[in-house]
Amino acid sequence: MKIGLVLSSTPGYSETFFTSKIKRLQDHGFKVVLFTQSRNEDFVLCQVIKAPKVYKNAVLQLVSMILTLTKLITSVATVVKYIRLEREENTSTLNIIKKVYLNSHVLSQKVDWLHFGFATQAIGSELVAKAIGAKMAVSFRGFDISIYPLKNKNCYELLWKHVDKVHTISNDLLEIALNLGLSKHHAIQKITPAIDVEKFHKNGEEPSKQSVIEILTVARLNWKKGITDTLHALQILKNMGYKFNYTIVGNGDDYERIVYAIYQLDLVDYVNLVGKKNVNEVIDIYANSNLYIQCSISEGFCNAVLEAQAMGLLCVVSSAEGLSENIIDRKTGWVVPKCNPEALAQKLIEVLNLPEDQKSLIRKNAIQRVKSDFTIEQQIKKFVTFYS
The yes-or-no answer to whether 2-190 and 213-373 have a common fold is yes
Whole-angstrom distance, CA of residue 383 vs CA of residue 388: 8
Domains of the chain by residue range: 2-190, 213-373
Nearby residues of 204 by Cβ (< 8 Å), 6 or more positions away = none
This prediction has a pTM of: 0.86
Are 261 and 228 in contact by the 8 Å Cβ rule? The answer is yes
End-to-end CA distance of the chain: 9
Domain topology for 213-373: Rossmann fold (3.40.50)
Whole-angstrom distance, CA of residue 148 vs CA of residue 150: 5
Longest dimension (CA), the chain: 72
Q: Which amino acid is at 148?
A: Y
Residuewise pLDDT in 10s, the chain (388 residues)? 999 999 988 887 556 678 888 888 998 899 999 999 988 887 888 899 999 999 899 899 999 989 988 888 889 999 999 999 999 999 999 999 999 999 999 999 999 999 999 999 999 999 999 999 999 999 998 888 989 999 999 999 999 999 999 999 999 999 999 999 999 899 999 999 898 888 888 776 655 566 789 999 999 999 999 999 999 999 999 999 999 999 999 999 999 999 999 999 999 999 999 999 988 999 999 999 999 999 999 998 999 999 999 999 999 999 998 899 999 999 999 999 999 999 999 999 999 999 999 999 999 999 999 999 999 888 889 999 999 8
Helices (runs of H) and strands (runs of E) counted in the chain: 18, 13
Domain topology for 2-190: Rossmann fold (3.40.50)
DSSP 186: S
